[in-house]
Amino acid sequence: MKHADYDQLATRLRHAYTSGAVPPLRDGLDPVDADGAYAVQTINTRFWEAQGRRIVGRKAGLTAKAVQTQLGVDQPDFGVLFADMEIADGGNLDPARALQPKAEAEIAFVLGADLPDPATTPEQVAAAVGSVHAAIEIVDSRIADWKITFADTVADNGSSAFFVLAREGKPLDGLDLEGAAMAMEIDGATVSTGIGAAALGNPLNAAAWLARTLATRGEPLKAGDILLAGALGPMVALQPGNTVHATVAGIGAVQFTYAKG
């Protein structure tokens, strides 16, 4: 197979959203080629911005050490959150908009201040947080059968698709993020459990990594941005008709239904 360039790979991933999942990107990306993978992601981000999509934040992925080990890397990754990816708390996601979606429960932050420092600390993140929310990320892959490497998922916008933010947020002060217990139910049955420490030891650590990484790239996080700090437990595949409900102790609850509204 001819070696694909970054523009070809980016086009292939964009077409997959409507034409169906594609094989892993082995003809253009080494499985651990972070620079190349982010170059592909950036091409599509700029394309979508030119089409009128609006960036509202970022998601951190691969924040669990077990998942990093599985993909042979020692770092998290990130993807871009666009405004049209948000599903209202209690709302519906039309299955026609997804390929092979899975849900995972997370802690999210909405920033009240910019984070421009390439050496941002968790303490600086804490000072910048405007509100903390329970969240569900609906991940999806444009790579067939989820046969992803690190480079595949990064190029594919961090395997992101949609997210649901709890309508009510809480101030950070006094919250136990590290010890917060998470339980996610599908149709009333518990399918995933976890704890805040799953996200790099504390979701603030994941957010600080994200802030440092983006500041270094010249795209610093800004006031108003939404940050998804990483899964607190295993992700679970969705079937049409499923109602997904997640609770993060001390922080809140959030829900959506995977069905046409």
Distance CA 25, CA 149 (A): 9
Domain span holding position 112:
6-257
Distances from the Cα of 249 to the Cαs of 4, 131, 167, 198, 246, in angstroms? 46, 15, 16, 14, 10
Total domains in the chain come to 1
Going residue by residue through the chain, which has 261 residues, state the pLDDT in tens, using 9 for 90 and above.
Answer: 456 899 999 999 999 999 999 999 999 999 999 999 999 999 999 999 999 999 999 999 999 887 777 777 788 999 999 999 999 999 999 999 999 999 999 999 999 999 999 999 999 999 999 999 999 999 999 999 999 999 999 999 999 999 999 999 999 999 999 999 999 999 999 999 999 999 999 999 999 999 999 999 999 999 999 999 999 999 999 999 999 999 999 999 999 999 998
In a domain, residue 55? The reply is yes
Residue 1 within a domain: no
In a domain? residue 162: yes
**Prediction pTM value:** 0.96
Q: Is position 119 within any domain?
A: yes
The answer to whether residue 189 sits within a structural domain is yes
CATH of the domain at 68: 3.90.850.10
| Number of neighbours of residue 36 by Cβ within 10 angstroms | 19
